[in-house]
């Protein structure tokens, strides 16, 4: 993938950049401040690939990504599960830290650590961006929660490593592009669908997957934002859209839905 433009949200040293480098080792990932910026760049074909977080094993889903997936024409073409090791990072070795800056997800993943040390949590737009803020503003009474890579990139001090509350802390990242994928016999398919707001409609859809012996790995609802208390459903299943069993089952399900959008079929990710 040499020469291809790969975008991630955040600053250099962000976990998204780490994931992008693992997925595209020959590329030089490009940082973008907002998730919306990434999806706009995808739409305008200004980038070739995007690497975005979709869920964390401790704190759950990144809801904004689910909402943005509904509107994009690009497909999910890959995934990666990245082990998250948070560090406490500061300008220098000192004991005057009273607050910690980081992305809300990272702050939540270190909730007990922060409480134990009586730090005030300060949400920011990015983990690595927090390191940058402290560096540029020369803030001596604050630390950042971010990756070791971020500390190295900004030449900051790591005061403590592995400060996340739970050690089984992984984030799942998706790759978005307009590439086509072929079945590898070890695939996942993601989709969004809507249903009539009547009893038994969701059960009827799940029943079709059960009859076809298709394993579902995730299902989640998100508000439609059009009518109160009505939802779209995001679903992951084992299999590729080109496989006859999957294709046949989705054809049956589509007749029961108000809409069905396949977000992509892609090789299942490994833990990295």
C-alpha distances (whole Å) from 142 to each of 43, 80, 98, 135 are 38, 32, 6, 10
Catalytic residues, by residue number, are: 171, 173
- The helix, strand and coil proportions of the chain, stated in percent and rounded to the nearest 5, come to 30, 35, 40
The H-or-E segment that residue 238 falls in is strand 231-238
- Retrieve residue 181's tokens: 């994928």
Residue pair 199/37 in contact (Cβ under 8 Å)? The answer is: no
C-alpha distances (whole Å) from 90 to each of 101, 114, 121 are 10, 15, 15
Tracing tokens 């006859």 back to the chain, one arrives at 244
- The end-to-end CA distance of the chain, in Å, is 19
């Amino acid at each position: 993938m040499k020469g291809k433009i790969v975008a991630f949200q955040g600053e250099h040293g962000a976990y998204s950049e780490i994931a992008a480098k693992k997925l595209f080792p020959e590329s030089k990932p490009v940082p973008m401040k907002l998730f919306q910026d990434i999806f706009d760049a995808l739409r305008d074909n200004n980038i070739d690939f995007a690497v975005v977080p979709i869920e964390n094993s401790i704190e759950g889903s990144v809801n904004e990504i689910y909402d943005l997936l509904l509107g994009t024409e690009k497909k999910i073409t890959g995934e990666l599960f990245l082990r998250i090791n948070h560090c406490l990072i500061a300008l220098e070795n000192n004991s005057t830290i009273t607050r910690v800056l980081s992305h809300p997800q990272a702050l939540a993943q270190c909730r007990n650590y922060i409480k134990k040390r009586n730090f005030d949590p300060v949400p920011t737009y990015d983990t690595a961006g927090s390191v940058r803020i402290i560096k540029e503003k020369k803030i001596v009474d604050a630390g950042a929660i971010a990756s070791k890579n971020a500390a190295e990139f900004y030449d900051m001090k790591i005061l403590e490593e592995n400060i996340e509350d739970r050690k089984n802390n992984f984030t799942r990242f998706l790759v978005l592009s307009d590439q086509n994928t072929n079945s590898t016999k070890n695939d996942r398919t993601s989709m969004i669908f809507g249903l009539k707001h009547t009893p038994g409609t969701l059960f009827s859809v799940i029943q079709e997957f059960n009859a076809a012996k298709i394993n579902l790995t995730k299902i989640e609802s998100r508000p439609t934002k059009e009518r109160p208390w009505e939802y779209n459903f995001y679903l992951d299943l084992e299999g590729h859209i080109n496989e006859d069993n999957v294709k046949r089952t989705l054809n049956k399900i589509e007749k029961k839905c108000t809409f069905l959008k396949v977000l992509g079929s892609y090789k299942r990710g490994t833990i990295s």
